[in-house]
């Protein structure tokens, strides 16, 4: 029985709720779309069972252990709170955390069904060997770990770059999803700024489980291109053969009345998005971008002279070649799809050709004012501590933060 089938078998009744702010405006437009029932439990709604902290969590590698370990502590608490007979599903690019491996093995020993899909690169880590010894590799059993083929994803032609945790039940709450930018590594805590969005929603959980089952089945598909519309949430699963949802979203932005766009990324090499950001700034939007690494074409498009509003504000956050930006979120505050709203896009994708067209990835989109405010409260001080780049000066981009342009399904990923 697949994970999704098992979940559906035990959740015959779900509570039907209302679509959150802007939900109607986020109708899916991509090729393969599954529409599932909306349920209660928005990203800022703790509800009556507040043991699971929903909404965003952000770590800071330079603000003490509580902030540094915030995402890892959330994951550890959810693993510990999963009772016997329930299921934890994990898809991860780099899995090197001995702590998380021990937590998952301990969960399996108390009869939790623990199922893990990893990129092949994780086989080099001791943590993977602990998982393999503790869970086994037989998918006919209730707990297992499997890896994608060497040099490719489980579905896409490049890596399995996913970073998510699914819990059928934890701490008395059903259908919990954690979508994060953080790998399960010590470096994700100690050297990176990351984000994680925790959602309690049966339809979102079901959509992720379907994708997880496809990852575990390991059938190549260069145009997986699946989108789930789950009430207020839209979830895009990758790879896509062409196009990307961020470019499509930016084409729906209006700068009339004042619109602010904030973007925090690890790697930014996809020039079509950079070109749209420049045009939106030229049209009167305020555009702010912070990154760790940027491609030459993307940098040239962002710094092209002639913009009527001074060009996008771009900065890099890479300190002492050790501590750097790694979140992958876009915030829109203003005109979007014909109405004024606040929208968050977050997931595991870097904005690169391989991130959209080669990797196994997942991205969540939701219009929610309170959620966007919390992400903005993370972005603003992060942007404030980042290093300025001259708005019209490609030459002011340090060589250390430039990387190869897109063109092949290769390149830096994290």
Q: Phi, psi (5° rounding) for residue 4?
A: -65, -40
352 near 406, Cβ under 8 Å?
yes
Return all residues near 251 (Cβ < 8 A) that are at least 6 apart. 276
HSE at residue 66, side-chain half, CA atoms within 13 A, is: 0
364 near 199, Cβ under 8 Å?
yes
Bridge partners, 389 (sequence order): none
285 near 334, Cβ under 8 Å?
yes
Largest CA distance in the chain: 63
Angstrom distance (rounded) from CA 284 to CA 263: 17
**Alpha-carbon torsion (56, 57, 60, 64), positive or negative:** positive
pLDDT at 70: 96
Angstrom distance (rounded) from CA 379 to CA 288: 10
Helix (H) / strand (E) containing 254: strand 253-254
Helix (H) / strand (E) containing 336: strand 329-336
pLDDT at 321: 65
- 414 residues of the chain, pLDDT tens digit each: 444 444 433 333 223 232 333 343 333 333 444 444 333 344 434 333 458 989 999 999 987 888 999 999 999 999 999 999 999 999 999 999 999 999 999 999 999 999 999 999 999 999 999 999 999 999 999 999 999 999 999 999 999 999 999 999 999 999 999 999 999 999 999 999 999 999 999 999 999 999 999 999 999 999 999 999 999 999 999 999 999 999 999 999 999 999 999 999 999 999 999 999 999 999 999 999 999 999 999 999 999 999 999 999 999 998 776 899 999 999 999 999 999 999 999 999 999 999 999 999 999 999 999 999 999 999 999 999 999 999 888 888 999 899 988 644 444 456
Angstrom distance (rounded) from CA 48 to CA 222: 42
pLDDT at 63: 77
Give the predicted TM-score (pTM) of the model: 0.88
Q: Phi, psi (5° rounding) for residue 340?
A: -90, 125
HSE at residue 249, side-chain half, CA atoms within 13 A, is: 26
343 near 332, Cβ under 8 Å?
yes
Return all residues near 50 (Cβ < 8 A) that are at least 6 apart. none
- How far is residue 361 CA from its own chain's centroid? 8
- List, as one string, the DSSP characters of 222-267: TT--EEEEETTEEEEEE--SS--HHHHHHTTEE-TT--EEEEE-SE
**Pairing outcome for strands 293-295 and 387-388:** unpaired
Angstrom distance (rounded) from CA 321 to CA 148: 30
Tokens 């080099």 belong to: 124
Angstrom distance (rounded) from CA 174 to CA 184: 23
Return all residues near 92 (Cβ < 8 A) that are at least 6 apart. 116, 117, 118, 119, 122, 160, 162, 163, 164, 183, 184
13 near 39, Cβ under 8 Å?
no
With vertex at residue 154, the alpha carbon angle to CA 152 and CA 160, rounded to the nearest 5 degrees, is 70
- List, as one string, the DSSP characters of 63-94: SHHHHHTHHHHHHHHHHHTPPTT-EEEEEES-
Q: Phi, psi (5° rounding) for residue 348?
A: -105, -10
Angstrom distance (rounded) from CA 345 to CA 328: 8
């Amino acid at each position: 029985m697949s994970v999704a089938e098992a979940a559906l078998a035990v959740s015959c009744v779900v509570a039907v709720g209302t679509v959150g702010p802007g939900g109607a405006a986020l109708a899916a437009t991509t090729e393969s779309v599954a529409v599932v029932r909306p349920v209660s439990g928005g990203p800022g709604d703790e509800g009556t069972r507040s043991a699971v902290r929903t909404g965003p969590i952000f770590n800071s590698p330079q603000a003490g252990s509580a902030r540094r370990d915030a995402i890892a502590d959330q994951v550890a608490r959810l693993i510990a709170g999963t009772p016997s007979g329930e299921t934890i599903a994990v898809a991860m690019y780099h899995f090197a955390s001995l702590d998380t491996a021990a937590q998952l093995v301990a969960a399996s020993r108390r009869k939790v069904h623990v199922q893990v899909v990893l990129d092949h690169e994780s086989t080099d880590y001791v943590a993977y060997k602990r998982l393999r010894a503790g869970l086994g590799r037989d998918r006919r059993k209730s707990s297992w770990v499997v890896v994608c083929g060497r040099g490719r994803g489980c579905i896409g032609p490049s890596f399995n770059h996913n970073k998510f945790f699914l819990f059928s039940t934890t701490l008395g709450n059903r259908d919990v999803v954690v979508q994060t930018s953080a790998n399960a590594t010590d470096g994700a805590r100690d050297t990176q700024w990351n984000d994680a969005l925790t959602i309690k929603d049966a339809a979102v959980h079901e959509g992720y489980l379907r994708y997880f089952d496809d990852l575990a089945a390991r059938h190549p598909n260069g145009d997986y291109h699946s989108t789930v519309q789950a009430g207020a949430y839209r979830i895009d699963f990758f790879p896509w053969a062409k196009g990307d949802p961020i470019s499509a979203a930016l084409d729906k932005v209006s700068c009339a009345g004042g619109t602010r766009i904030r973007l925090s990324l690890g790697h930014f090499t996809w020039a079509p998005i950079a070109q749209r950001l420049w045009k939106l700034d030229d049209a009167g939007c305020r555009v702010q971008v912070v990154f760790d690494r940027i491609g030459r074409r993307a940098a040239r498009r962002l710094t092209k002279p002639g913009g009527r509003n001074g060009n996008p504000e771009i900065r890099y956050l890479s300190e002492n070649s050790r501590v750097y930006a790694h979140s992958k979120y876009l915030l829109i505050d203003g005109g979007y799809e014909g109405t004024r709203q606040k929208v968050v896009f977050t997931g595991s994708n870097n904005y690169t050709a391989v991130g959209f067209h080669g990797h196994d990835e997942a991205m969540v989109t939701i219009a929610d004012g309170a959620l966007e405010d919390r992400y903005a409260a993370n972005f603003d001080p992060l942007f404030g501590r980042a290093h300025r780049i001259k708005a019209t000066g490609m030459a002011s981009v340090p060589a250390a933060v430039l990387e190869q342009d897109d063109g092949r399904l290769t390149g830096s990923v994290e």
